[in-house]
């Protein structure tokens, strides 16, 4: 990077900026506070609906191979599925997940779903993110979790996206970060923009939060070149995962993070051991490996929750792909996870067991996984989880025993 | 505050050009006159229509075997995409009918395609907006919907081109079958809206009705058409959609799409989306109800819908209640600084502007999902995005070589909407360049 190195931190806290900054209420709390905890809690949203029957294949179900035909993974051959237990095997490109499973650091869940039967991506993603038992709702469960924990620092909860997604939107401060392809403004210019935005209830706080996280990222890796075009939704998740890991590793870094991955909506030519979906899974696996590398020792204090809005149809469609379905797979990954197991009340893939004669039925509520991870790792009181984080969810108990204590 | 020239330019148009504000005496009349504007920008004449794209497509077999030819073709597509985006944006930078352009953008986004999603969409993306959307933005919604349904860009993007009835000849003989993707989005996004009263069974029936609607292979392409109804892919027998029986055949698809366009849920869905896009993230209920009535009573006349919008008092309040998305933001910045003359926008600047849009997270013809680009403040005023817009404003101002008095420019662009905070910030800027950057980064400029 040849442009002059800008130290936003000195802008925010140094004497030079004080005169201008004193006008800005949004800048009152910009000095990096040390984090309220060492624990890291990360949510990865796979947007577009991951085919759980490929990522976590029920190879032990006798109906699986005939039902799936050429989309089925094989137990043998060049690229066999990675066997976890008598029923389930991971896709061959999820080797990192498999290693974590073997080390007891990955727990998998199958036939889980959001509480509403909904096959629209957009509606289903909204429900996954609001954590409600119905459509509607304007804030996300992860933001409400921040509120319950009493966190009040936007730098501690970061979405690695151009904007804050619904899951992290709400009353508690949160921010977003992507590496910019644009030249940074000078400190003086940014201070002037901040003064200009001070009276603005949307732009003022947004700029303050954006600058704070940008400064943190620059400090974490001053030599790193900006990753071009991260403002857009990237197919390659690895660079952003590595950046996220590095930032979360910092003593004063974020503790809550959201990552998003796209490209899972495989209506056509999905592939099996190889092909379109295999490439997405390989990228996810590499991203999680990069994330772990970025985290270093902090991996041991980390739980990554990987979820998608719904599963895909049990049978292939007419184009060697799959359409929108119901029961899905979910994963917990990280050094703090008590893993090495697959949890599923397996409904079976025989025709009579399919939901509406087309989808893997859902026998579990994905919120029980999320609640189990939040309760076990972040120590949120179960009553608050039922009432405030996932309102009206007391009938969906938190899964126990998924986090190391 | 009723109709004002300021809001006519900023909310309903593409941002003000220097001197323009003073010339608009009758804001609502200025907008209404643009609704009738039909001529497409002259520069569009150079672009191939969809039929020509099919005729001139390289032989697929040859591409499969020849790695270099494949590489060349991808490069060709990339250049074509860039040229198409350039032409579209240039038309906006210099348009004298900016409200009409905004209508094109709204409807193009309502029936969105994303050329980044599938390489095969790329050569059709420009023609999609030009031929399927633009001619209908002041015509009947059903006609636009049909044109979209038959256009190769949409047929490929949402996979209907590949869908075959399980009981059709192609379905039985070859390893092909039903694909629900388009049918679902047609109801959820294009017409009825989520919760619009359809079931999964309706999605399957609609998908069956539309089997056979596909893109003609080169050897079957005839005349000006880029659409083929392939009977051998069509699911035999009658189907039932929303309780209505449809016979086998191509005509059933036309009837089904027309019925969806006229459905009361569609009027409700579109009225709210249209009002929200132009006026406020949470639009005035009376305005929405009025637009819904107009859409229903005029059989989806989109020109009447636009007229009803600008004639309604609630469409003009609150001022600057919407966030500009990056494409609108970049366009407004160019119109504010480059003036009306196309000659002043150099090709290298066009490229830089495209880079700006990309960096800010939005590229024409590349909607991230079939839902299209969002248009809310929540989607575009994220912490990271706000920092990047401020950075981009500074970068753009640095490229402007002509001498500009930013204070004078600000007053001319925003008139009564200019706040004291922005006026003061510009006046105190250390250089005209930074003053200009602060104007472009200002809260007024970020909104419409």
> Tell me: the pLDDT tens digits for A254-295?
999 999 998 899 999 999 999 989 999 999 999 999 999 999
Calculate how close chain A gets to B309, using CA atoms only, in Å. Answer: 27
Q: Residue B230: inside a domain, yes or no?
A: yes
Calculate how close chain B gets to A73, using CA atoms only, in Å. Answer: 19
- Find chain A residues with C-beta within 8 A of B356's C-beta: 182
Calculate how close chain B gets to A239, using CA atoms only, in Å. Answer: 16
B179:A268 CB<8 A: yes
- Find chain A residues with C-beta within 8 A of B438's C-beta: 192-193, 196
Closest chain B residue to A117 measured between Cα atoms?
Answer: B200
The dihedral over CA atoms of A156, A159, A163, A165, expressed in degrees to the nearest 10, equals: -110
A182:B388 CB<8 A: yes
Cross-chain CB nearest to A196 (options B164, B179, B425): B425
pLDDT at B230: 97
Domain finish residue from B207, B230, B262: B262
B383:A176 CB<8 A: yes
What is the domain range of residue B389?
Answer: 326-446
pLDDT at A136: 82
Are B334 and B292 contacting, i.e. CB atoms less than 8 angstroms apart? Answer: no
> Is the pLDDT score of A216 beyond 80?
no
**pLDDT tens-digit profile of B122-170?**
999 999 999 999 999 999 999 999 999 999 999 999 999 999 999 999 9
Q: Residue B188: inside a domain, yes or no?
A: yes
> Is the pLDDT score of A5 beyond 60?
no
Cross-chain CB nearest to B369 (options A121, A198, A199): A121
A192:B385 CB<8 A: no
pLDDT at A224: 42
Closest chain B residue to A188 measured between Cα atoms?
Answer: B430
Q: Residue A312: inside a domain, yes or no?
A: yes
B395:A211 CB<8 A: no
Cross-chain CB nearest to B381 (options A161, A186, A203): A203
Calculate how close chain A gets to B33, using CA atoms only, in Å. Answer: 35
**pLDDT tens-digit profile of A40-84?**
999 999 999 999 999 999 999 999 999 999 999 998 888 999 999
- Find chain A residues with C-beta within 8 A of B386's C-beta: 197, 203, 206-207, 210
Choose from B382, B414, B433 for mutation: most chain A CBs within 10 A. B382
Region A29-38 average pLDDT:
62
Cross-chain CB nearest to B394 (options A185, A199, A323): A185
Domain count, chain A: 1
B359:A154 CB<8 A: no
Judged by DSSP in three states, A259 sits in strand
Name the pairing type of β-strands A302-308 and A82-83: unpaired
Region of B243 please: left (phi>0), alpha (psi -120 to 50) or beta: left
B383:A135 CB<8 A: no
> Is the pLDDT score of A235 beyond 90?
no
Closest chain B residue to A175 measured between Cα atoms?
Answer: B383
Contacts of residue A391, defined as CB under 8 A and 6 or more positions apart, other chains included, come to A131, A132
Q: How many beta-carbon pairs below 8 A join chains A and B?
A: 168
At B323, phi and psi to the nearest 5? -80, 135
B171:A197 CB<8 A: no
Q: Where does the pLDDT of residue B28 fall: very low under 50, low under 70, confident under 90, or very high at 90 and above?
A: very high
Q: Cα A307 to chain center, whole Å?
A: 7
CA atoms of B268 and B197, how far apart (whole Å): 12
Calculate how close chain A gets to B25, using CA atoms only, in Å. Answer: 31
- Find chain B residues with C-beta within 8 A of A315's C-beta: none
B385:A183 CB<8 A: no
Cross-chain CB nearest to B178 (options A196, A318, A320): A318
Choose from B387, B399, B427, B429 for mutation: most chain A CBs within 10 A. B387
CA atoms of B71 and B221, how far apart (whole Å): 26
**Distances in whole angstroms, Cα of residue B85 to Cα of each of A294, B122, B129, B329, B355:** 38, 11, 11, 16, 11
Name the token pair of A352: 């009579």
CA atoms of B25 and B22, how far apart (whole Å): 8
Choose from A136, A240, A318, A319 for mutation: most chain B CBs within 10 A. A318
- Find chain A residues with C-beta within 8 A of B178's C-beta: 317-318
With a CB-CB cutoff of 8 Å, which residues 249-308 of chain A face chain B? Answer: 262, 267-268
Domain finish residue from B262, B280, B308: B262
Q: Residue A398: inside a domain, yes or no?
A: no
Name the token pair of B319: 């001022």
Q: Residue A240: inside a domain, yes or no?
A: yes
Name the token pair of A281: 């899974």
Based on its alpha-carbon atoms, the radius of gyration of chain A, rounded to whole angstroms, reads: 22
CA atoms of B418 and B4, how far apart (whole Å): 14
> Is the pLDDT score of B192 beyond 50?
yes
Mean model confidence pLDDT for chain A = 86
The dihedral over CA atoms of A302, A165, B385, B185, expressed in degrees to the nearest 10, equals: 130
A210:B179 CB<8 A: no
Calculate how close chain B gets to A211, using CA atoms only, in Å. Answer: 7
Q: Residue B50: inside a domain, yes or no?
A: no
**3-state per-residue secondary structure call for chain B:** CCCCHHHHHHCCCCCCCCCHHHHCCCHHHHHHHHHCCCCCCHHHHHCCCHHHHHHHCCCHHHHHHCHHHHHHHHHHHHHHHHHHHHHHHHHHHHCCCHHHHHHHHHHHHHCCCECCCCHHHHHHHHHHHHHHHHHHCCCEHHHHHHHHHHCHHHHHHCCHHHCCCCCCHHHHHCCCCCCCHHHHHHHHHHCCCCCCCCCHHHHHHHHHHCCCEECCCHHHCCCCCCCEECHHHCCCCCEEECCEEECCCHHHHHHHHHHHHHCHHHHHHHHHHHHHHHCCCCCCHHHHHHHHHHHHHCCCEHHHHHHHHHHCHHHHCCCCCCECCHHHHHHHHHHHHHCCCHHHCCHHHHHHHHHHHHHHCCCCCECCCCCCCCCCHHHHCCHHHHHHHHHHHHHHHHHCCCCCCHHHHHHHHHHHHCCHHHHHHHHCCCCHHHHHHHHHHCHHHHEC
Q: Residue B258: inside a domain, yes or no?
A: yes
pLDDT at A19: 34
- Find chain A residues with C-beta within 8 A of B194's C-beta: 120, 122-123, 135
Long-range contacts of B168-177 (CB under 8 A, 24+ apart): B168/B211, B168/B212, B168/B232, B168/B233, B168/B234, B168/B235, B168/B236, B169/B232, B169/B233, B170/B230, B170/B232, B170/B233, B171/A318, B171/B233, B171/B235, B175/A320, B176/A318, B176/A319, B176/B233, B177/A317, B177/A318, B177/A319
- Find chain A residues with C-beta within 8 A of B395's C-beta: 182-183
> Is the pLDDT score of B311 beyond 90?
yes
B386:A207 CB<8 A: yes
Cross-chain CB nearest to A162 (options B195, B382, B392): B382
- Find chain A residues with C-beta within 8 A of B388's C-beta: 180, 182, 210, 231
Percent of chain A with pLDDT over 90: 69
What is the domain range of residue A197?
Answer: 39-389
A317:B384 CB<8 A: no
CA atoms of A178 and A243, how far apart (whole Å): 9
> Is the pLDDT score of B425 beyond 70?
yes
pLDDT at A8: 40
Chain B CB within 8 Å of residue A171 CB? no
B387:A195 CB<8 A: no
Domain finish residue from B244, B262, B280: B262
B179:A162 CB<8 A: no
CA atoms of B310 and B391, how far apart (whole Å): 34
Choose from B170, B198, B390 for mutation: most chain A CBs within 10 A. B390
Closest chain A residue to B167 measured between Cα atoms?
Answer: A318
> Is the pLDDT score of B8 beyond 60?
yes
Q: Cα A371 to chain center, whole Å?
A: 15
Are A369 and A402 contacting, i.e. CB atoms less than 8 angstroms apart? Answer: yes
pLDDT at A220: 52
Mean model confidence pLDDT for chain B = 92
Judged by DSSP in three states, A220 sits in helix
pLDDT at B344: 60
Higher pLDDT, A378 or A152: A378
pLDDT at B341: 40
Choose from A118, A155, A189 for mutation: most chain B CBs within 10 A. A189
* Residue A215, domain CATH: 3.40.720
B382:A164 CB<8 A: yes
Calculate how close chain B gets to A99, using CA atoms only, in Å. Answer: 32
CA atoms of A386 and A401, how far apart (whole Å): 18
Q: Where does the pLDDT of residue B316 fall: very low under 50, low under 70, confident under 90, or very high at 90 and above?
A: very high
- Find chain B residues with C-beta within 8 A of A181's C-beta: 355, 358-359
């Amino acid at each position: 990077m040849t442009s002059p190195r800008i130290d936003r931190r000195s802008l925010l806290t140094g004497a030079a900026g004080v005169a201008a900054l004193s006008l800005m209420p949004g800048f009152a709390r910009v000095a990096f506070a040390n984090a309220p905890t060492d624990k890291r809690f990360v949510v990865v949203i796979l947007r577009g609906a991951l085919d759980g029957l490929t990522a976590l294949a029920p190879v032990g179900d006798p109906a699986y191979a005939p039902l799936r035909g050429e989309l089925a993974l094989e137990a043998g051959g060049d690229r066999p599925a990675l066997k976890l237990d008598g029923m389930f095997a991971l896709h061959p490109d999820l080797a990192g997940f498999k290693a974590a499973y073997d080390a007891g650091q990955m727990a998998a869940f199958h036939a889980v779903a959001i509480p509403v039967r909904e096959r629209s991506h957009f509606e289903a993603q909204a429900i996954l993110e609001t954590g409600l038992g119905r459509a509607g709702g304007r804030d996300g469960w992860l933001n409400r979790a921040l509120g319950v924990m009493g966190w009040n620092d936007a730098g501690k909860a970061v979405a690695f996206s151009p904007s804050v997604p619904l899951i992290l939107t709400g009353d508690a401060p949160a921010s977003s970060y992507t590496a910019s392809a644009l030249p940074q403004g000078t400190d003086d210019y940014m201070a002037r923009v901040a003064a200009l935005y001070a009276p603005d209830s949307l732009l003022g706080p947004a700029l303050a939060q954006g600058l704070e996280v940008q400064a943190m990222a620059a400090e974490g890796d001053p030599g790193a070149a900006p990753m071009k075009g991260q403002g857009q939704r990237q197919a390659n998740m690895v660079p952003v995962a590595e950046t996220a890991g590095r930032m979360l590793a910092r003593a004063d870094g974020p503790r809550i993070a959201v990552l998003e991955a796209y490209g899972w909506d495989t209506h056509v030519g999905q592939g099996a051991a190889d092909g379109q979906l295999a490439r997405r899974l390989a990228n996810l696996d590499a991203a999680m490996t990069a994330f772990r590398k970025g985290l270093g020792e902090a991996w041991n204090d980390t739980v990554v929750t990987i979820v998608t809005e719904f599963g895909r149809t049990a049978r292939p469609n007419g184009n060697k792909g799959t359409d929108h379905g119901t029961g899905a797979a979910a994963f917990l990954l990280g050094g703090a996870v008590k893993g090495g197991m697959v949890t599923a009340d397996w409904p079976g893939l025989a025709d009579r067991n399919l939901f509406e004669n087309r989808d893997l039925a859902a026998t579990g509520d994905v919120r029980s996984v999320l609640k189990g991870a939040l309760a076990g790792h972040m120590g949120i009181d179960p009553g608050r989880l039922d009432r405030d984080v996932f309102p009206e969810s007391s009938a969906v108990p938190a899964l126990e025993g998924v986090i190391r204590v | 505050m009723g109709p004002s020239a300021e809001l006519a330019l900023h909310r309903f148009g593409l941002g003000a050009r220097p001197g323009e504000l003073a010339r608009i005496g009758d804001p609502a009349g200025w907008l209404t006159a643009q609704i009738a504007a039909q001529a497409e920008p002259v520069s569009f004449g150079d672009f191939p229509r969809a039929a020509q794209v099919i005729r001139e497509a390289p032989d697929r077999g040859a591409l499969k075997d020849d790695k270099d030819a494949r590489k060349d073709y991808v490069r060709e597509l990339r250049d074509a995409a860039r040229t198409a985006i350039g032409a579209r944006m240039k038309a906006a930078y210099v348009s004298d009918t900016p409200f009409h352009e905004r209508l094109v953008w709204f409807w193009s986004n309502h029936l969105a395609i994303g050329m980044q999603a599938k390489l095969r969409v790329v050569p059709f993306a420009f023609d999609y907006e030009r031929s399927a959307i633009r001619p209908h933005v002041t015509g009947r919604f059903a006609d636009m919907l049909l044109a979209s349904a038959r256009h190769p860009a949409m047929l490929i993007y949402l996979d209907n081109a590949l869908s075959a009835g399980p009981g059709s000849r192609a379905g039985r003989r070859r390893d092909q079958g039903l694909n629900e993707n388009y049918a679902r989005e047609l109801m959820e996004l294009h017409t009825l809206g989520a919760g619009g009263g359809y079931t999964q069974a309706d999605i399957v029936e609609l998908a069956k009705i539309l089997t056979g609607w596909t893109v003609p292979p080169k050897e079957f392409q005839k005349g000006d058409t880029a659409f083929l109804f392939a009977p051998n892919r069509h699911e035999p027998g009658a189907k039932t959609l929303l309780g209505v029986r449809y016979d086998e055949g191509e005509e059933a698809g036309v009837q089904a799409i027309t019925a969806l366009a006229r459905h009361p849920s569609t009027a409700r869905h579109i009225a709210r989306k249209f009002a929200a896009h132009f006026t406020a993230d949470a639009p005035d209920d009376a305005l929405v109800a009025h637009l819904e009535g107009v859409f229903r009573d005029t059989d989806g006349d989109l020109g009447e819908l636009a007229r009803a919008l600008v004639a309604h008092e609630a469409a003009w309040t609150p001022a600057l209640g919407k966030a500009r998305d990056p494409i609108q933001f970049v366009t407004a910045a160019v119109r504010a600084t480059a003036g009306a003359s196309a000659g002043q926008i150099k090709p290298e600047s066009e490229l830089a502007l495209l880079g700006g849009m990309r960096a800010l997270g939005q590229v024409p013809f590349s909607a991230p999902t079939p839902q299209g680009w969002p248009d809310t403040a929540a989607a575009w005023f994220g912490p990271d995005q706000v920092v990047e817009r401020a950075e981009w404003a500074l970068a753009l101002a640095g490229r402007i070589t002509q001498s500009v008095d930013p204070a004078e420019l600000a007053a001319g662009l925003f008139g009564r909407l200019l706040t004291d905070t922005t006026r003061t910030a510009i006046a105190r800027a250390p250089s005209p360049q930074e003053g200009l950057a602060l104007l472009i980064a200002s809260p007024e400029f970020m909104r419409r």
